[in-house]
Amino acid sequence: MQPGLLSSTAGFCEGRLAPNSIYAVLHRECRALFPDEMFADLFAEDGRRSVPPMIVAVVMVLQRLEGLSDREAVERFAFDVRWKYAAGGLDFDHPGFVHTVLVDMRARLAASARPDRIFERTVEVAGQAGLVGRRRVLDSAPVYDAVATQDTITLIRSAVRGLLRAADHVLRAQLRAVLSSGDAYTDMAKPVIDWTDAGEREALIDSRARDGYALLAVLDGRDLEPEVDQAARLLATVLGQDLDQDGDGVFRIARKVAADRVISTVDPEARHGHKTVNRSFDGYKGHVAEDPDSEVITATAVTAGNAGDAEPAAGLLADVLNAPAPNEQAEGGRAEVYGDAAYGTGPLLAELDGAGARVMVKVQAASAPGGRFSKDAFTVDLGAGQVTCPNQVTVPIRPKSDGRGAACFKAACSACPLAAQCTTARDGRVITIGPHEEHLARGRARSADPVWLAAYRATRPKVERKIAHLMRRRHGGRRARVRGRAKVAADFSLLAAAANIARLGVLGIMSTPAGNWATATG
């Protein structure tokens, strides 16, 4: 009776979708958000595919928002009317495309000078609409790796197998000639032994370790192809991190954990990390900087799981720390940075102070074992180069060559009536002075101020809500969809772009006839 009813997704979806939903904002602004010229450099050499890059960008954003695989995403685009509506109001019978189009777009972006341009575009739009100020909140979240953590024997065998696979047939024959364990290294299954027998386990480790070192000896001093060189380096790392050679010459698993231990040869950049003392994970950390007023993510980074939260902070804050400092009385004021105690490190505090930022970063209070006097109970006078203890004894700070120092109370502690509350050390209490002592002491004093705490508690939790938005789906959120830090970082920035567009929809973003951006309320 109504043959034209399903000819356009626009007529079907309007009135059925909330105007501030991500589908509606993409429908209205997809051509302004992702114009063809934004992707022109990606296709300069071989021309553009038949699928417009704007449509591919929309699909990539919705894919990351909903945590879908490539095949699931193209299927959703083919059959979910909201996706075609978001891509500019396409017709119901608009042809779809194969999932390799998404693979190709990611590869082109990764090889380009601006691999994160989709995320950067969302920040640019928010900035033009006046939604990005000079306040930032920092936080991180674990991103579990997409591979299984391997034990020592699996790591060694996998690294040997990878080296044999990377070598050409001539080099492979030379390498196989020095293998003495009888292991063919052709499959991933562990050798069949009695795993309850300690002797058999030790013999297995020793024999495979000798195979590994024999392979490295063959390659020593040779000019290697990049792939072979990379595989050899991985094998050397795996052998060196987990094994010790006893006095009898037998290789055994070391009774220690290497500081930067490789946990998988499938994803050698993943690491074992701790979000808290009791919560560990394997993989990476995703870091974000957020404008707390608009709740727009302004920067992202991905590090190995064992990296400290403060390590990428300077890069996340580059837009406010490296920009010309405005007059504090002018609109925008100086930069203001919020972060929990994980960001309260000396180097970061010094950098923030040096940039003239208002530091709203919590610094962990000093503590001492047994409830004794903490470092805060001592008066550290860096200008005079001395430290005064709770019993009013003052000693000089003895500087060290690395910029640190120490104040040693020694004999003063033996006759001190407060010694039992201070130290049990035979040589008396020693106060260590770090190179950033001034910034840390100032940060601890700030963290105890009730007014400062009230402002901190009113602002910093906003980024935790944003982290929850990013991690709400397990596939592609909490767990990585790809392997390798570069790919995980690109995927994480695309996820942040999707979250930003969803937020911009809530804020009523719209393009203006002059080519700028504004909000419905602004």
The residues that bridge with 439 in the sheet, in sequence order, are none
**pLDDT of amino acid 251:** 82
Distances in Å between the Cα of 410 and the Cα atoms of 106, 422, 428, 429 are 63, 12, 4, 7
Of the two residues 227 and 277, the one the predictor is more confident about is 227
Q: What is the pLDDT of residues 413-424, one digit of tens each?
A: 988 999 889 988
- Asked if residue 338 and residue 194 are part of one domain, the reply reads no
Judge whether 63 lies within some domain: yes
Judge whether 466 lies within some domain: yes
Q: Is the pLDDT of residue 329 over 60?
A: no
What is the pTM (predicted TM-score) of this model?
A: 0.88
- Asked if residue 226 and residue 129 are part of one domain, the reply reads no
Judge whether 45 lies within some domain: yes
Judge whether 28 lies within some domain: yes
Q: What is the pLDDT of residues 20-29, one digit of tens each?
A: 999 999 999 9
- Asked if residue 182 and residue 215 are part of one domain, the reply reads yes
521, 508 Cβ separation under 8 angstroms: yes
Considering only CA atoms, which of 421, 407, 404, 342 is closest in space to residue 379?
407
Examine the fold and report which residue of 435, 457, 488 is the final residue of a domain before the chain moves on.
435
Give the residue-averaged pLDDT of 62-69.
Answer: 93
**pLDDT of amino acid 494:** 96
**pLDDT of amino acid 330:** 45
Give the residue-averaged pLDDT of 249-270.
Answer: 84
Which backbone phi and psi does 49 adopt, to 5 degrees? -65, 170
Lowest mean pLDDT, pick from 152-156, 339-343, 369-373: 369-373
- Asked if residue 173 and residue 128 are part of one domain, the reply reads no
CA–CA separation, 339 and 461 (whole Å)? 10
Q: What is the pLDDT of residues 488-521, one digit of tens each?
A: 999 999 999 999 999 999 999 999 888 899 987 6
**pLDDT of amino acid 327:** 53
- Asked if residue 199 and residue 242 are part of one domain, the reply reads yes
- Asked if residue 374 and residue 326 are part of one domain, the reply reads no
Of the two residues 4 and 265, the one the predictor is more confident about is 265
Q: Is the pLDDT of residue 55 over 50?
A: yes
Q: Is the pLDDT of residue 7 over 50?
A: yes
Query: What is the pairing mode between strands 517-519 and 135-144?
Result: unpaired
Residue whose pair of structure tokens reads 């951006």 in the numeric block? 517
- Strand runs labelled E in 354-421: 358-361, 379-381, 386-388, 394-396, 398-399, 405-408
Q: Is the pLDDT of residue 1 over 60?
A: no
Judge whether 455 lies within some domain: yes
Q: Is the pLDDT of residue 40 over 70?
A: yes
Q: Is the pLDDT of residue 370 over 90?
A: no
Give the residue-averaged pLDDT of 336-358.
Answer: 93
- Structural domain total, the chain: 4
Distances in Å between the Cα of 51 and the Cα atoms of 58, 80, 518 are 12, 18, 29
CA–CA separation, 465 and 499 (whole Å)? 12
Examine the fold and report which residue of 435, 457, 479 is the final residue of a domain before the chain moves on.
435
**pLDDT of amino acid 503:** 95
- Asked if residue 408 and residue 313 are part of one domain, the reply reads no
- Asked if residue 461 and residue 351 are part of one domain, the reply reads yes
- Asked if residue 99 and residue 67 are part of one domain, the reply reads yes
Assign 188 a pLDDT band (cuts: 50, 70, 90): confident
Judge whether 511 lies within some domain: no
**pLDDT of amino acid 4:** 57
Q: What is the pLDDT of residues 396-448, one digit of tens each?
A: 999 887 778 999 998 889 889 998 899 888 888 999 998 888 899 889 889 88
- Expressed as residue numbers, the domain containing 203 is 152-253
Give the residue-averaged pLDDT of 453-470.
Answer: 94
- Asked if residue 279 and residue 329 are part of one domain, the reply reads yes
- Asked if residue 95 and residue 32 are part of one domain, the reply reads yes
**pLDDT of amino acid 147:** 82
Judge whether 520 lies within some domain: no
**pLDDT of amino acid 331:** 44
**pLDDT of amino acid 257:** 73
CA–CA separation, 221 and 219 (whole Å)? 6
Of the two residues 242 and 290, the one the predictor is more confident about is 290
Q: Is the pLDDT of residue 3 over 70?
A: no
**pLDDT of amino acid 359:** 94
Assign 187 a pLDDT band (cuts: 50, 70, 90): confident
Judge whether 504 lies within some domain: no
**pLDDT of amino acid 5:** 55
- Asked if residue 139 and residue 286 are part of one domain, the reply reads yes
Question: Could you tell me which residues come within 8 angstroms of residue 167 by beta carbon, excluding any fewer than 6 positions away?
Answer: 175, 228
- Give the CATH number of the domain where residue 140 resides: 3.30.420.10
Of the two residues 358 and 322, the one the predictor is more confident about is 358
**pLDDT of amino acid 190:** 86
Assign 486 a pLDDT band (cuts: 50, 70, 90): very high
Assign 208 a pLDDT band (cuts: 50, 70, 90): very high
